[in-house]
Structures are given as structure tokens and as C-alpha cells.
A and B are shown apart, each in its own frame.
Chain A
């Protein structure tokens, strides 16, 4: 157990050390959400008064969803970070060592998780200037949910990167899945605006629950069915996807 923790720490530290030398990427990942905050959120002003809009202020509605959105996009692109490591044989070098496969997997996944948490905190701080006033406990839980989403999506992204080993392929596979999931999760506009059929489809999208839960949590409403469902869903998904990544790590032909 001790060896397992040390190994995970060594790999995580190595990945973070490289990241700290090049912190540019943390900020690149913030560009998109900030642009949405500045250039999209103002548009919502006009629809808050529309019948069926769930919140009184735009920031209460949009910022929690924006945090989930950042988690969705940024962690699902984390696979790009390992493409060159696969290419130059570094991953293979790790795989020949006696290090536990779970440590290898967690080293990479936790790096993405840490980056994402830093980004989420920065988004929250910026949002405070746009009238966002979340509940503190709710926010802590929201970050926990973001952590689970990050584990799930970065595991998937890494696994696909290991399997396709090609940037173009990885981008198209990711877009193919993430874009519809994003549009069907009610981040941009309330799902109540959508036709019944789309609402129906959205009900089988786990991110719909995550987005709804994120709004409850930032309002401080913790004891909600949606919140519980979102956590259960993403605990299961993160375990399954981690297991997939371990299997890929064990078997890929790099």
C-alpha cells in the first residue's frame, strides 16, 4: 500500500513538474470559459424573464453549468498530453517498470484532475465579479463532483489516446461524443426550453444530472435527489472508466 502511494506520487509529481515548467496550458484551458462568461452570459439577460427560466439571475444559472462545461471539455482533451509520450516511448518505459498499473493510471488522471480543480477555482473567482454568489459548502461538493467528472473523462480520453495514438483521430472521437453530451445537458439554455423529445434524450445523459446538481449545489441545496443521482452516477462512471484505462495501460501496443 505504501509502495502504491509512493509510486502514484512519483508519477504525479513528474507530470506536475513538467506542467509547472509550462503553466501556459492551465491558462489556455481557461480561455474558453472566460470567453463564455464575457460574451455569452450577457445574452442570457434577455431570457431570464422568459416563462420557465429556472433562476432569477443569469450567473446563478450559468456559472455552475460553465464549471461543468469546463470539466467536460478540458478533461476530455487530456489525452493529447500523452500522445507525444506514447510516440517517444516514455509510456513504454514506465510500463516495463514494476510500478503498479493503478499507480501509472492514477498518476496521469490525478494530474488532469488537479489542473481542472485549479481552473474551476479561477473561474469561480472571476465569476464573483459577475454577481455569482455561491454557497460555500455547496461549492465544495460541486468541486467534488467536478473531480469525479474529471476522473471519468480524462480516463476515457487517455484510453482513446492509447488506442488511436493519433491527434486527429482523438479529436474527432472526442468531439463526436462530447459535443452532443454538452448540448443535451442544458448548460447553455434550460432544458425546459427544448422540445419534449430532446428533453427525453437528455434524461439519459449523465451530464444533465451533473449540470442540474451543480445549480442546486451552488445555491446551497444539497439534499436533492438530483444531487444524489449525479454523485452515484459519476462515482460508478469514474470507477468503470478507470478500470478501462488500467486495462488499456496493461495491453496497448504502443
Chain B
């Protein structure tokens, strides 16, 4: 007796060699030629404290992004935006509430061990054992990735030389300065030459010199082919390092692109920032200027009025004359090219770094 094939298969034409070839090519393109190393789909995370639902916080509200091999991908946003939560999920530290994640071809829900073998993570706090020396910390880290004692010592020595840490490598970690600590954190994160390196706010709280030292090392790692994902709330950092930036606010990605493109796409033109003596004149000025044809958009932040215009040089005198005509006195005025800070402000209505902090 002949078995009947299911209808769907019976009716579908057998794919020709050409069609099969097309499928293979498109898959290859997706996974090999484009080299997507991280795929995040509809990632959600709800933190529930206690049993009452009212207390739970949705830290990540369904975000999607892909990261390609060898890029430096930035997650930019203010404190509490969900950057660190996203990173910690990707590093297998906490489990997502919803969504699919694929890292280097491994499904995060199933192959945590395989993922852990291939990624490095430097947390905000760093995680050095402060009672041990820098070198001992590196050796321990190497041992945990399965190196023998001798291999671990060699690898620690190699990184100490490479990052020029010799002068303080054998001191207790608790005596390190912020910058020295960060360099050791970074060394521990790359001890096993991971394919993907996650950096959670790598330079927060560092002086400018240490910051550029870290930036140098990150750039070197990038040149060696490591894919890097970092979170930051420094726009300068994202601007200098990242090939692409996802701007995150309140658990959602508001915009994702190359930093230069982002700046052009969001704001073409210049920004005139006016500082008023009081709120009333600010309100009046805001009303008056928004009806002017040369003004593209107006945003108010505290006592500041941001006026977005095409040509700052020619618009500034016009703005001044409008204010003068209406007897509105201002304290200061400045003209600036857009920065990622402005992009963020325009997208979210929030400043990236809270000035009260």
C-alpha cells in the first residue's frame, strides 16, 4: 500500500538545485559572510521583587539587535536604561524573561557553557579579589578557563607585559588606583582570548589619562579581531570607539546606527542654547521662537532652551533680535554643532548624565 504524503508536501514543488543554492547562499550570507555573532530578538526582562506584581520592574522591554564579527557595538543610555541588564543576560549571568538570543551560533537558553567558554566579561565593579595581587588574580582566572598552572602563569605574564602592568602587578589589588584596577579587570576579561568581549562601563569614574589608556587597549583588541560590546553613558566614548551605537532609554532601543550617521540623521544643522534668568521669559521665548520659520524645533531642559536651526551663524542674530524686540533678557547664549548628547536629548527628552549625580 502506498502511503499518502501530507498535502503540504505533495503540493509543494520539489526545490530545484538552483533554488536550493539560493537558500544556501542566503543562509551563508546571514551567518558566515555577514558573520553575525550575536542575535537578540525581542529580549525582555522583568525583575519581580516579592510576589506582588505591582512591585515588578520591566527593565528591558523587547529589544532587537545583531552584532557582526569584529565590530565594537555600543549600548548607550542613562543609568537605569537597561544597558547593564541586557549585557548581564548576554553574559549568562541572569536569565531573560522573554525573547531569543543566539551567540556564536549557540542558543543562550541551552548552551550556556559553550557561550561562557567563548566570551569575556568585565563588570562595572571589575571583580578583582582585593586581598590577592594582580598577578594572582590573572592566574586564578586563567586556571578557571582550564589552563594548567604553567600555562596560566605564562599567560598572566604575557598580558602583564602587553598591557605594561609590570610596575604594580605584584601588589595587592586593594592598593591599586582606579585606572590600574581597570587595566587588570580588562586583562582578566581577555585571559582566555575570548571571541566576544563584554565591557560594562569600562571607563566610568576614571581620570582622562586612564580612560585613554583603556581606549587604546580596547582599540588594540578590536584590531586583533575581537568583537566588543560595551555599555557607556559617555557619548565621547561611544563616538570614539563604536562602529555602531544602540541608544537605549527606559528599556527600549530608540535608535541604532553608526555614531556619525546618527548625528546627521537626527540633527542636521546647529543648536543654539539660551539660558534665561527666569522661567517666565523662557516660556515666552519658547512660544515666540517656535513660530519663527528658521527654527526647526525647540526643546526645554531646566532653565535652558535648545533651538534647533539649519544655519547657526545666520540664525543667531535673528534669534537675538526676536528676544530683544520682546524685551526678554538672557544670561548666556551658545552655538554648537550636534553631539551624541544632543541626539540623546532630542530622542528621549532626557539628558544622558543626570547633573545631580
The answer to whether residues A87 and B125 also contact, given A14-B140, A93-B188 and a CB cut-off of 8 A, is yes
The answer, yes or no, to whether A89 is at the interface (CB within 8 Å) is yes
Contact of B143 with A93 in the complex, beta carbons under 8 Å: no
The answer, yes or no, to whether B94 is at the interface (CB within 8 Å) is yes
Taking the nearest CB of chain A, how far is it from the CB of B149, in angstroms?
10
In the complex formed, the residue of A with least CB distance to B131 is A18
The residues of A that contact B117 with a CB separation of less than 8 Å are: 98
Contact mask B294-313 → A, CB, 8 Å, 1/0? 00000000000000000000
The answer, yes or no, to whether A203 is at the interface (CB within 8 Å) is no
A237 vs B128: C-alpha distance when bound (angstroms) = 33
| Residue from B120, B123, B144 in contact with A92 in the complex, judged by beta carbons closer than 8 Å | B123
The answer, yes or no, to whether B27 is at the interface (CB within 8 Å) is no
Taking the nearest CB of chain B, how far is it from the CB of A105, in angstroms?
14
Contact mask B119-135 → A, CB, 8 Å, 1/0? 11101111111111000
Contact of B126 with A96 in the complex, beta carbons under 8 Å: no
Contact of A88 with B144 in the complex, beta carbons under 8 Å: no
Contact mask A214-242 → B, CB, 8 Å, 1/0? 00000000000000000000000000000
Taking the nearest CB of chain B, how far is it from the CB of A164, in angstroms?
12
Contact of B144 with A99 in the complex, beta carbons under 8 Å: yes
A64 vs B126: C-alpha distance when bound (angstroms) = 45
Contact mask B206-226 → A, CB, 8 Å, 1/0? 000000000000000000000
In the complex formed, the residue of B with least CB distance to A96 is B121
The answer, yes or no, to whether A198 is at the interface (CB within 8 Å) is no
The answer, yes or no, to whether B95 is at the interface (CB within 8 Å) is yes
The answer to whether residues A94 and B132 also contact, given A87-B125, A88-B126, A89-B127 and a CB cut-off of 8 A, is no
The residues of B that contact A10 with a CB separation of less than 8 Å are: 140, 143-144
The answer, yes or no, to whether A97 is at the interface (CB within 8 Å) is yes
Taking the nearest CB of chain A, how far is it from the CB of B45, in angstroms?
10
The residues of B that contact A251 with a CB separation of less than 8 Å are: 94-95
The residues of B that contact A17 with a CB separation of less than 8 Å are: 132
The answer, yes or no, to whether A253 is at the interface (CB within 8 Å) is yes
Contact of A93 with B127 in the complex, beta carbons under 8 Å: yes
A98 vs B91: C-alpha distance when bound (angstroms) = 11
A7 vs B143: C-alpha distance when bound (angstroms) = 8
Contact of B131 with A21 in the complex, beta carbons under 8 Å: yes
Contact of A253 with B94 in the complex, beta carbons under 8 Å: yes
In the complex formed, the residue of A with least CB distance to B140 is A14
The answer, yes or no, to whether B113 is at the interface (CB within 8 Å) is yes
The residues of A that contact B188 with a CB separation of less than 8 Å are: 93
Secondary structure type dominating chain A contacts: helix
| Residue from B95, B119, B124, B128 in contact with A96 in the complex, judged by beta carbons closer than 8 Å | B119
A91 vs B95: C-alpha distance when bound (angstroms) = 17
Contact of B92 with A96 in the complex, beta carbons under 8 Å: yes
Taking the nearest CB of chain A, how far is it from the CB of B130, in angstroms?
6
The answer, yes or no, to whether A194 is at the interface (CB within 8 Å) is no
The answer, yes or no, to whether A90 is at the interface (CB within 8 Å) is yes
The answer, yes or no, to whether B116 is at the interface (CB within 8 Å) is yes
The residues of A that contact B120 with a CB separation of less than 8 Å are: 96
The answer, yes or no, to whether A144 is at the interface (CB within 8 Å) is no
The answer, yes or no, to whether A47 is at the interface (CB within 8 Å) is no
| Residue from B93, B95, B126, B145 in contact with A98 in the complex, judged by beta carbons closer than 8 Å | B145
The answer, yes or no, to whether B146 is at the interface (CB within 8 Å) is yes
Taking the nearest CB of chain A, how far is it from the CB of B189, in angstroms?
9
Contact of B123 with A89 in the complex, beta carbons under 8 Å: yes
The residues of B that contact A85 with a CB separation of less than 8 Å are: 129
Q: Which residues of B contact A (CB under 8 A)?
A: 47, 88, 91-95, 113, 116-117, 119-121, 123-132, 140-141, 143-146, 188
Between-chain CB contacts (< 8 Å), 13 pairs = A3-B146, A18-B129, A87-B125, A88-B130, A89-B123, A90-B128, A91-B127, A92-B127, A96-B92, A96-B120, A97-B141, A251-B94, A251-B95
Given pairs A17-B132, A88-B126, 11 additional interface contacts (CB within 8 A) = A3-B146, A10-B144, A89-B123, A89-B126, A92-B125, A92-B127, A96-B92, A96-B121, A97-B144, A98-B145, A251-B95
Which 8 interchain pairs have the tightest Cβ spacing? A89-B125, A89-B127, A93-B127, A98-B116, A97-B144, A96-B121, A89-B123, A98-B117
Q: Which residues of A contact B (CB under 8 A)?
A: 3, 7, 10-11, 14, 17-18, 21-22, 84-85, 87-99, 251, 253-254
